[in-house]
Amino acid sequence: MQPGDRLLLYFDGFTECSLADGGLLDEDGLRQMALDCGPDRNGTEFLDDMFWRLTQAMAPGRGMDDDVSAVFFEYNGH
């Protein structure tokens, strides 16, 4: 990894979340969601924002069908 690189490890609870439009978030949706969080979010802020965005996009009243877990790494060169 190079300084400034970020790595998100996630479980399928993110990508298999049922959305309000009836589809699943899938990998492309997760990628876009991560990009929408922006580069200024780091650590806990980034994961909190990802979870908030997921709850806003998911099917209302449905709840989560699976666990939603992730680990976020940021490499600063040290």
Write down the domain spans for the chain.
6-74
Q: Read off the pLDDT of residues 13-55 as tens digits, 9 standing for 90 and up.
A: 888 888 888 888 999 999 999 999 988 888 889 999 999 999 8
In the structure, how many helices (H) and strands (E) does the chain have?
3, 2
Check pLDDT > 80 for residue 61. Answer: no
Please answer whether residues 43 and 31 qualify as being in contact, where contact means their C-beta atoms are separated by less than 8 angstroms: no
Matching residue, tokens 């009836």: 22
